[in-house]
Amino acid sequence: MNFLPQEIIRRKRDGGELSAEQIQSFVEGMTSGRVSEGQVASFAMAVFFRGLSVPERVALTCAMRDSGEVLTWDLPGPVLDKHSTGGVGDTVSLALAPAVAACGGYVPMISGRGLGHTGGTLDKLDSIPGYMSQPDIETFRRVTREVGCAIIGQTADLAPADKRLYSIRDVTATVESIDLVTSSILSKKLAAGLHGLVMDVKFGSGAFMNNAADARKLAESLVLVATGAGLPTSALLTDMNEPLASHAGNAVEVAYIADYLSGRRREARFHEVTVELSAEMLVLGKLAADIADARARIEDAIASGRAAEIFQRMVVALGGPHDLVERPKHHLKTAPVVRAVHPERHGTVHAIRTRETGVAVVALGGGRTRPQDAVDHAVGLTDLAGIGEQVDHERPLGIVHARTEAEADAAARALQRAYTLGEGPVESKDTVLERIGA
C-alpha cells in the first residue's frame, strides 16, 4: 500500500477511500514535518470536496488524538467538557467551565484560536494580563484538580497534528468541512481523557453551518464518531442568526464574562445557552438526577457567585490578576478609538448578517487572515443591538472599538451593512432548537 503523501492526497482527490494505515501515515507526517504545508492544505481541500466515510473520520480522529499525549485523570468527580462550533459573541466557555466546576464536575478545557470570522477562546484568554494560556501539562493537571477547571490552548503535547491542520484550515477556506471539523474537535477532546462531552453546534448567518439541516448533520457526525470512540456525547443545535452576546472581540468578551458572572450584566440568550449546555454536562456526568435538576443547580451556581469565585481562582492559578472579575476595565487593554454607530434611519432590527459582524472584528485586527498574524486584543464591537430591538439616534447598532479612525470608519460601514431594519415587532425564535444524543 502506498504511503507517499502525494499518493494519499491523489487517492482522496479522486474519490477513493483511505485505509486507517494511510491516514495514520499522513498524520504522522504532519506531526514530524515530513508532510509539507502545501500537502496538508491539498489534503484538506481534497477532503473538503470528496468527504470522508465514517471509518475514515474515526481513523483520522484517533490518529490525531494519538499524535501526542493522551491524558488520564484520578479525580473525585467526572471529567467533562463542552465545545462550540463557533460563532460571534460566543464566550460561553468562560462562564460554563466554572459553573460546572461549582457543581462537582472537573473541566479541563482545551480551546483553539479564532477560525475564519469566529472568535477563539484562546485569543480571549490571551487578553488577560499574565494568564498562561499554554502551560505545561502538569500545571494544567494541577489547576484542574485544585480549582475544578482550567481553560488553556493546545499544547505541543496534546493532538499536535490537529494544531497544524487547524491553523492551515483557517486560511485555506476549508473550515466548514464536516469531516475536518469532526476530527479536529474530537481529537483534542479524546486526548483530554474526558468522561462526557457536550457539543454546541450552531446554525445561522453567523455560524459555519448556515441552516439547521447542515448543523444537524454535523451534530450527528460528532455524536456518532465520539460515541464510537468511547466518549459519551450529546449535542445541542443553537441559533447564531445574531451574535450570542452583545460583545464581540477578545478583551471586550472577557469584560463581558466578568460582568455576567458578577451579575452586572445578564442577557437572556447568552444565559439560556450557558445554562442548557452546562445542564447537559451535569446529566452526562451523573451530577444531577435529570435536566430540570441540572438547570436548577447551574442557575444556583451562577446566581450565588460560586461560578464567579471559581473563574477568578482559575485566572489567578494560571497567572492572571486576582481581581479581574471585580475590576475588568483596570486590567484589560482598551482601544483608543471608541465610536457609537447609529443607523441611517430609526427602525426595528429584523435581521443581522452576523458573519459580517465577525468579519468586521477580524478587519479591526481582532482575528487573523494568516496563521502567523498577531491579534489586537483590545479591538472589537460592544453593545450590539439584537433582533427585535429598536435602534435610532439614541440606541446605536453597536459601539466600535478600533485602533485608528480609518479602521473605525470601515467597521462602522460594515456594521450598518450587517443590519436589516423594518417596522413592527419580530417573531421571536428559540435559541436552543433541539438536542441530539447517542
Residues serving a catalytic function are 81-84, 121, 169, 184, 188-189
Distance between CA atoms of residues 146 and 358, nearest Å: 36
17: left (phi over 0), alpha (psi -120 to 50) or beta: beta
CA dihedral over 416, 422, 428, 433, signed as positive or negative: negative
Burial pattern 68-79, b for ≥16 Cβ within 10 A else e, equals bbebebeeebbb
Distance between CA atoms of residues 168 and 37, nearest Å: 8
Whole-angstrom CA distances from 366 to 93, 243, 378 are: 19, 16, 8
Cell (9 digits) for 13 = 482527490
Compute the half-sphere exposure of residue 434: CA atoms within 13 Å on the CB side of its CA.
Answer: 10
CA nearest 395: which of 337, 346, 360, 361?
Answer: 346
Contact criterion met (CB below 8 Å) for 93 and 281 = no
**Element containing residue 80 per DSSP (H, E):** strand 80-84
Cell (9 digits) for 6 = 502525494
Phi, psi (rounded to 5 degrees) for 402 = -130, 165
Residue with cell 500545571: 139
Distance between CA atoms of residues 397 and 31, nearest Å: 45
Whole-angstrom CA distances from 243 to 5, 145, 345, 381 are: 40, 33, 22, 11
CA nearest 285: which of 95, 86, 103?
Answer: 103
**Element containing residue 266 per DSSP (H, E):** none
Distance between CA atoms of residues 14 and 25, nearest Å: 19
Distance between CA atoms of residues 78 and 282, nearest Å: 9
Residue with cell 439560556: 272
Tell me the sheet residues that pair with 436: 235
Distance between CA atoms of residues 274 and 252, nearest Å: 18
Beta strands in 331-404, from DSSP E residues, in sequence order: 337-341, 347-352, 380-382, 390-391, 398-402
Amino acid sitting at position 406: A
